Structure 1
Amino acid sequence: MSREYFSQLTTKDVFILTTILERYDNQADAFATLLREKLNHATVYFRDDIPGDVVTLNSRVTYRLNGQIKGPHLVVQCQGEDLPDYALSIHTLCGLSLLGLAEGEKTAIEDNGKRQTIFIEAVEFQPEANLRLREQDAAFSRTQRQAVDPSPQVLKFQPKQKPAIARRPDDDDPGPFAA
């Protein structure tokens, strides 16, 4: 595998790739070789730290394969022939080679003597970046709600005062209050 940049993987991606490699039992085919190189030359990030333009598991990516535009494809862990057309498994050479590349990066792989060049056009969705955005939105929403005093406004109501009866000084009739 030759390319301009090394892989950028999340800790989850490394765990899954390591598990796949353990199942290969020292095989020397193109897939196992690519898998070993990807793990040996990877920069590993926590989920919150990986750049948003890097292909991780469950990312939606558009890429060029030998100059032809492909995708958008969802990079998935599942394997098998019954995957939908929009899914690309990391159990294939193409899917594995996409994992860890960033927008604008390219790699070359060889499969059965055929050299293929892969170039990342766009990472349209990355689950880690999406999660960070949702967390930022939630934090912003919380700060907006805190700006308004959540306690209820209490108003005091006092009974209306009855108007006082004015007495005239020259009137000797005490009125109804005299009784």
Structure 2
Amino acid sequence: MSNNTYILTTKDFTILEAMADNWQGRNDRLVGLFRHKIQKAIVVFRDDLPGDVASINSRVRFRVRGGESDIRVISTGQATGPVGLFLPITTLRGLALLGLRQGQEIEFENTNGVPETMLLEAVEYQPEVSRPERQMFGQEPVTSLQRPHLRLVSGGMDGLHGELIGASDGFDDPGPSAA
């Protein structure tokens, strides 16, 4: 494995820690890579993550062993979608890309024990960077400054004067069929 450092958001770091702690059912190479990433991680807040770093839900372009470029979305493995769209961090390649900077390489042993080198060519989309941009252009509400969507209407109950609708005899149990 390479000795580089990796930049992870607090959320991504926490997910890796939880997955490393729950190692049953995972191969030793994957657990080793989890631990390596955790030990070498620089942890930052989501808003402080540089735009050229691969995080969970980032769309990345990469090469394996100098081959052709591939584009995938790094996921936690819980996403459902078209085959080939996601690269879960529950796989060696998905985990290897997490926390890399554009242009950074990582070397690790694949499931067959063969050394494999991956290069992160580009981060084409990163949710942490796009969030402030969406807020700036008014496409995403700023929750802390936003007013509630509830509107109170004065006199909305006028004319009812405490009448219960549908309860003319005082018995309002609809019976077992309503359950």
Matches for 1:102-117 after TM superposition, within 5 Å: 102-111=101-110, 112-117=112-117
Contact 1:60 1:126 in 2 (8 A): yes
Answer with 1 or 2: which has the greater Rg: 1
> SS of the residue aligned with 1:2?
coil
The residue aligned with 1:125 is: 125
> Residue type matched to 1:94 in 2?
R
1:2-58 CA distance string (max 9 Å, x none) = 15x311000000111111011116x87111111001001100010000001100000
The residue aligned with 2:47 is: 48
> Residue type matched to 2:50 in 1?
P
Cα separation, 2, equivalents of 1:97 and 1:123? 14
1:139-170 CA distance string (max 9 Å, x none) = 9xxxxxxxxxxxxxxxxxxxxxxxxxxxxxxx
Cα separation, 2, equivalents of 1:70 and 1:14? 27
Cα separation, 2, equivalents of 1:85 and 1:113? 23
Matches for 1:100-179 after TM superposition, within 5 Å: 100-111=99-110, 112-138=112-138
CA drift at 1:68: 1.2
Normalising to structure 1: TM-score of the pair?
0.70
Of Structure 1 and Structure 2, the greater helix share is in: 1
Matches for 1:73-88 after TM superposition, within 5 Å: 73-78=72-77, 84-88=83-87
The residue aligned with 1:61 is: 60
Q: State the identity %.
A: 39
> SS of the residue aligned with 1:113?
coil
> Residue type matched to 2:135 in 1?
E
Contact 1:105 1:119 in 2 (8 A): yes
Normalising to structure 2: TM-score of the pair?
0.70
CA drift at 1:86: 1.4
Moved more, 67-76 or 35-44: 67-76
Cα separation, 1, equivalents of 2:89 and 2:123? 16
- Number of residue pairs the alignment of both structures matches: 137
Unaligned runs of at least 5 residues, structure 1: 140-179
The residue aligned with 2:148 is: none
